[in-house]
Amino acid sequence: MLTVLYANGEGVSQDKPLALRFACESELSDSGLEDIRKLPTHAHLTAKKFRYCDEAMTTFAMNFCAAYDSEIAKQKRQDVLDALMRQWPQTDREAFAALQKSEDEYVMAHSRGEVYQGGTIRNLRMNGVEEHQRDEFLAAIQKFEKGDLPSGSKVGFQRADADLNATYKKALALASEQDFKDDDGLIQPSGIRDAERAWLKYRDAWVEFAMVHYPNSDTDAWLTLLTTNRFWSLRQTSCDVGWDDPACKTK
């Protein structure tokens, strides 16, 4: 980020030679170096600014940029949620805080335990999974706040639960059949079990929040929705492990 600060003169005096030095040390591409050279004086006051992550070429740089973008996205999501919660009663805020905590724990458990960890871009892969789930969480809250609440029944929940249990057992079985090595990054049964435990806490926190904040909604509807979402997530994990399973092949 020192490259960006000195290239654009953001918070420090613009110093393109120093920016180029830091850029070379971080193995920035030739096109990126040329972009710095072409920057106008006082670039921070113009629309033409240097953006390091637009030129990231190495795995290290891409992982760094993914983490950086994730922090920015996290703050933007929280700003939206804070605006939504501004008029909520304290009891609703407390229930939502517990939900957010369990959501974070589940997302982390899923990305670390049910996503392939091998290769040099594993951090990018995990980051992408985490960002997708957190975006989905925010989108769901926004949808529910507009009054578009889920529908479902006890029978629907029982059916979804049976499908999830079958997929969970299948994923565990497939993971157990793999030939593990210490550093191969394969999805392991322990990771699936840890993610499932985290999801159960997340599910219960969701229902508890829903009963406080949406008191006229139906518990079975929430259970059906959450269980169905977990089914599809775990089915993807199962297909990642048993990639040659005919059920996972698209037509």
Q: What's the pLDDT tens digit per position in 173-185?
A: 999 988 766 557 7
From 196, 195, 194, 224, select the one nearest 210 (Cα to Cα).
224
Under 8 Å between Cβ of 190 and 198:
no
For residue 235 the two structure tokens come to 């089915």
Q: What is the pLDDT of residues 120-129, one digit of tens each?
A: 777 888 889 9
For residue 197 the two structure tokens come to 């435990």
Which amino acid, residue 120?
T
Least confident of 71-75, 102-106, 139-143, 195-199: 71-75
Residue 214 — φ and ψ, nearest 5°? -120, 65
| Higher pLDDT, residue 32 or 245 | 32
pLDDT at 225: 97
Determine what percent of the chain is predicted with pLDDT higher than 90: 57
Q: What is the mean pLDDT of residues 130-147?
A: 96
CA-based angle 218:222:223, to the nearest 5? 115
Neighbour count for residue 52 (Cβ, 10 Å): 24
The DSSP call for residue 184 is S
The whole model's pTM is what?
0.81
pLDDT at 251: 45
pLDDT at 182: 56
* Burial bucket for residue 145 (CB in 10 Å: 0-12, 13-18, 19+): middle
Domain ranges of the chain: 2-55, 59-244
The DSSP call for residue 39 is P
pLDDT at 249: 67
pLDDT at 180: 66
